[in-house]
Structure 1
Amino acid sequence: MTAPGDVNRFDGRVALVTGAARGIGARIAATLAARGAVVAHADLADVDDPGGPHSRHRVDIRSARSCAGLVAGVIDRHGRLDLLVNNAGVVRRGPAATMTEEDFTTVLDVNLTGTFRMCQAAYPALRAARGAVVNLGSTNGQIAVLNTVGYCVSKAGVLHLTRVLALEWARDAIRVNAVGPTIVPTDMTTDVRGDAAYLAEKLATIPLGRMAHPDDVANAVAYLLSDAAAMVTGQTVFVDGGVTIH
């Protein structure tokens, strides 16, 4: 546990972040490490483990076996698992009327079922540690957005999965929360950010008038994982500049 009064640090704790190779996941991992956590970075891409206090792992969250193997590998390397961040995700864009079944089900399998697989695999370790989980949702899980039906449905599922797990796992002192960002300048949004008309329309829906930065998301994740949020579970914090208030 952290020292009394030092509720924003993670000294002595091990955090696992999926989708940690780039973008939001990389920023979350760096933020947790800066606050004292030992971070296990997991991603679908093959990565070399550089050694030192932190570690890197390969995972395919479409596979329950891969998720279980990841958790086992983290515990073998670090001896415990206290914190889980389910950040890995994909998007497929297009009108609902013409989206292929494969595109729709792929997004659900990665974003929603993949989050469930990771939570389920990590549950015994989190129960032993009285740990915490943060799932990456989206404003798309709260409001309808054109041409992203699979992504919207998957993220809505993540937000409700968060509530259900928070209810079930409260008896084990495991807190489960979610963060719901608006558009963030990462590789996942490169295509739409390159469309000037789309971007202007998108920014017009954000009362604060800007995109969310990866740091904005990472700081919200760190808060929800920390002892500062010890009485917070089953909640979604929207990092959206006010998108979901109107």
Structure 2
Amino acid sequence: MPVLQRPARGRARDDRDRVSTGRIALVTGAAQGIGAAIAERLAAAGMTVAMADLADPAAWTTTRDQVAAAGESGKSGTAPSTHRVDVRSAESCRALVREVEARHGGLDVLVNNAGVNGRGPAEELSEQDWNDPLEVNLSGTFRMCQAAYPLLTASPAPCIVNLTSTAGQVAVPGCAGYAVSKAGILHLTRVLALEWAAKGIRVNAVGPTIVPTAMNAEVRADAEYLTDKLASIPLGRMVEPGEVADGVAFLASPAAKMVTGHTLFVDGGVVLG
């Protein structure tokens, strides 16, 4: 496959305003759910999408094909690529970035969506139950940001969008490790936005409330839990994966070129309480 020609690093800053299609986006946790919706939405916007997940890409070819179809409608011009990554490993993150550079010639947009959940009363959490969300969600996000930094500094319009949660802003019982990991992403987003602004790298986050995905299928099957959860959402319903993807697409677009260090809550008003 031909390598996309990258714009010169010395391009004038005004050209950033005009960059919309032809950009290269990397989405982690892209095999299903929110990540798949994000990859599809960015492809439809005309971006070339590299999709990465811990699961073997051979197991999620349907997702890849859906993203490819969205790319054709969005005239991205380049088929999506699929990759395997374990965000618990810094070397795996660096290897992924090298693969994306070799395949597509650079990187403009990084979406850190890979994550795990964990539930249970705080007094009963095992050390692993506590550590897993921190290791994958928070440290994994940091590892990917760090690995992608050199390529992003060469982009004419670099940005990062991290996935956090309303649980990182509003205290929610029964998910201490997950909630703290998402709160950490919220603040990491602000710190990196401040540190990397001089390089022109915008860093933002999207924080949804509950989204109907496989990750939370078990709790959604609990009628009492779901009733209580929906009662906490002023607009009275769950957020669809495509609505989260719309928020990511906005923050990754030229329309948000002066937005950095911000968390966009796609939550039906949960954080108002």
Q: So what's the TM-score if we normalise by structure 2?
A: 0.86
Where structure 1 has 5 or more consecutive residues not aligned to the other structure, the ranges are none
Q: Please list, as runs of the form range in 1=range in 2, the aligned pairs for 1:30-69 lying within 5 A after superposition.
A: 30-48=40-58, 53-69=79-95
Other structure's SS at 1:183 match: coil
Equivalent in 244, 249, 257 of residue 217 of structure 1: 244
| 1:189 and 2:216 matched | yes
Segments of structure 2 that go 5 or more residues without pairing to the other structure are 1-6, 8-13, 69-77
Percent identity between the two aligned chains: 62
Structure 1 residue 155 corresponds to structure 2 residue 182:
yes
Deviation by residue 1:6-63 (Cα, 9 ceiling, x = unmatched): x798411100000000000000000000010000000001114879621000000000
Q: How does 1:18-167 map to 2 (within 5 A)?
A: 18-48=28-58, 53-129=79-155, 130-167=157-194
Within 2, Cα distance between the matches of 1:152 and 1:46?
28
Partner SS state of residue 179, structure 1: strand
* 1:211/1:87 CA distance change after superposition, 3 Å: same
Q: How many residues matched? A: 243
Give the whole-Å Cα distance in 1 for the aligned partners of 2:209 and 2:236.
11
TM-score of the superposition, structure 1-length normalised?
0.95
Q: Quickly say closer, same or farther: Cα 1:207–1:9, change in 2 above 3 A.
A: farther
Rounded to whole Å, the distance in 2 between the matches of 1:91 and 1:77 is 32
Q: Of residues 263, 266, 270 in structure 2, which corresponds to 1:236?
A: 263
1:11 aligns with 2:38: no
1:79-107, CA deviations, whole angstroms, 9 ceiling, x for partnerless residues?
01000000000011100001001111111
The answer to whether the 8 A contact 1:179-1:236 is kept is yes
Asked whether the 8 Å contact 1:10–1:32 carries over to 2, the reply is no
What is the deviation of 1:189?
1.0
Q: Tell whether the 8 Å contact from 1:24 to 1:186 is kept in structure 2 after alignment.
A: yes
Deviant stretches of 4+, over 3 Å: 7-10, 48-52
**CA distance in structure 2 between the partners assigned to 1:92 and 1:241 by the alignment:** 23
Q: 1:156-212: per-residue Cα shift (whole Å, max 9, x none)?
A: 000000000000000000000000000000011101100001100110010100000
Q: Distance in 1 between matches of 2:200 and 2:21?
A: 19
Structure 2 Cα separation of the partners of residues 53 and 214 of structure 1: 22
3-state SS of 1:61 partner:
coil
